[in-house]
């Protein structure tokens, strides 16, 4: 019988590791030499390893578990490690980490609900070469699960139940075909230049934050430029916190309407051209807005992905606030053949943000308005139903 990822994760969180893994074992003697100098490396045998001091990778090595099932080999944050230190830090180039699980152990009583965004389980430091994180599971981080600096590719991996953010991306890094769900404040935050997010599924992130704080499922933050965000699926599950409620054991003190939800793009550094490309993403069922723009400049949002023109067009739909909202001055906004419809308020709500559009499908919403603001070239026949 095949068991789903979600079922396995729930068992690990609620019931702990299987009985055969309850007794953590020490890392093999060769492992220290492997990560320090690249000598004697081999797959880690199956088991759960308590990590009491940060594992520092200084050599170009492959660190891998016993099989293609990441749950067979688990690196677990021991109480002695605390929450200020990472389970593993990578300083070298040419490193591959695959077929492993990182257990942040956040539900250990002293860790839960106190971690911060700058506390990581796996930290890929800035390097000149390329590193890979492949088929890795990171769950129950007390802070942020994965911090990725330049030239790292994260793919076919799964991040769940981090108290803060699932993943940070910096400087020419890639997140491809990953799953990020149930993170406390947000799913993926992007910093720096030329990062790519492709084919990821983000579900129910912002699980633990009051609705007036934290981030959305994907954030393009402050100085970030030239990000390519395409063919991702963002499903908010209509999550909304409640007064006196709890999520993952953490109290939720505030209940108010969530204004962020799917993708948020910031420009607090007042860049004149951010050059972000947002192509063909499904953004649905958020208790706030599908796409939120904060004083942005040079953003393109389209339904057709130039890298896959024949792909089925996805939509910004069924969100409880606006489909696309710019509450402040936004310049050089281009809407291509994006499909925005069926949201609870505006399809596009532009305040001091003139934009140009070509063949956008902006269908009237549920008893509200089609459009606020001004589109400089708005086709008159686009409100007749989205193809």
Q: What is the pLDDT of residue 258?
A: 54
d(CA 104, CA 86): 9
DSSP state for residue 85 in the 8-state scheme: S
Q: What Rg value do the Cα atoms of the chain yield, rounded?
A: 21
Q: What is the pLDDT of residue 370?
A: 42
Structure tokens at 145: 């699960």
Q: What is the pLDDT of residue 4?
A: 58
The residue among 260, 201, 197 whose CA lies nearest residue 227 is 197
Stated as kind and residue range, the H or E segment containing 13 is helix 5-15
Q: What is the pLDDT of residue 254?
A: 58
Q: What is the pLDDT of residue 52?
A: 96
Q: What is the pLDDT of residue 371?
A: 46
- Please give the model's pTM, rounded to 2 decimal places: 0.89
Structure tokens at 146: 């994965």
- Determine if residue 299 is left, alpha or beta; phi over 0 gives left, psi from -120 to 50 gives alpha, anything else beta: beta
The residue among 194, 170, 140 whose CA lies nearest residue 11 is 140
Burial letters 84-99, b for 16+ CB under 10 A, else e: ebbbbbbebeebbbbb
Structure tokens at 35: 């990560």
- pLDDT averaged per 10 residues, the chain (length 387): 53 44 80 95 96 97 98 96 96 96 92 90 90 97 94 96 94 96 92 95 83 74 93 89 72 60 87 93 92 90 92 89 84 84 81 67 51 42 47
Q: What is the pLDDT of residue 364?
A: 55
d(CA 117, CA 94): 27
The helix/strand/coil state of 98 is: strand
d(CA 113, CA 51): 21
d(CA 168, CA 57): 19
Q: What is the pLDDT of residue 242?
A: 60
Q: What is the pLDDT of residue 260?
A: 67
Q: What is the pLDDT of residue 365?
A: 53
Domain annotation for the chain: domains and CATH numbers: 54-64+77-377 (2.160.20)
Q: What is the pLDDT of residue 345?
A: 81
Q: Which residues touch 5 (CB under 8 Å, ≥6 apart)?
A: 158, 179
């Amino acid at each position: 019988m095949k068991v789903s990822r979600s079922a396995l994760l729930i068992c690990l969180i609620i019931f702990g590791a299987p009985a055969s893994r309850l007794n953590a074992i020490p890392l093999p003697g060769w492992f220290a030499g492997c990560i320090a100098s690249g000598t004697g490396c081999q797959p880690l045998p199956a088991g759960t390893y308590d990590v009491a001091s940060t594992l520092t990778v200084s050599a170009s090595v492959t660190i891998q578990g016993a099989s293609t099932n990441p749950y067979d080999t688990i690196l677990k944050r021991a109480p002695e490690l605390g929450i200020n230190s990472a389970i593993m830090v990578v300083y070298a180039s040419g490193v591959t980490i695959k077929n492993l699980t990182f257990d942040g152990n956040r539900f250990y009583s002293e860790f839960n609900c106190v971690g911060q965004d700058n506390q990581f389980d796996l930290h890929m430091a800035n390097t000149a070469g390329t590193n890979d994180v492949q088929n890795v599971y990171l769950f129950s981080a007390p802070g942020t699960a994965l911090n990725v600096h330049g030239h790292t590719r994260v793919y076919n991996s799964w991040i769940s139940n981090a108290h803060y953010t699932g993943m940070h991306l910096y400087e020419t890094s890639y997140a491809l075909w990953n799953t990020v769900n149930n993170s406390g404040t947000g799913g993926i935050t992007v910093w720096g230049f030329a990062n790519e997010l492709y084919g990821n599924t983000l579900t129910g992130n912002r699980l633990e934050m009051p609705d007036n704080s934290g981030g959305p499922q994907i954030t393009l933050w402050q100085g970030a430029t030239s990000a390519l965000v395409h063919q991702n699926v963002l499903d908010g599950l209509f999550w909304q916190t409640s007064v006196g409620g709890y999520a993952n054991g953490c109290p939720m003190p505030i209940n108010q309407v969530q204004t962020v939800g799917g993708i948020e793009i910031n420009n607090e550094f007042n860049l004149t051209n951010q050059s972000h490309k947002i192509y063909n993403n499904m953004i649905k069922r958020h208790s706030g807005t599908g796409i939120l723009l904060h004083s942005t400049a040079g953003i393109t949002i389209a339904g057709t992905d130039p890298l896959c023109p024949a792909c089925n067009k996805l939509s910004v739909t069924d969100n409880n606030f606006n489909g696309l909202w710019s509450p402040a001055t936004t310049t050089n906004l281009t809407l291509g053949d994006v499909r925005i419809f069926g949201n609870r308020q505006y399809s596009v709500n532009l305040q001091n943000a003139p934009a140009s559009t070509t063949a956008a499908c902006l269908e009237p919403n549920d008893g509200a308005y089609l459009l606020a603001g001004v589109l400089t070239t708005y086709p008159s026949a686009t409100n007749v139903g989205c193809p």
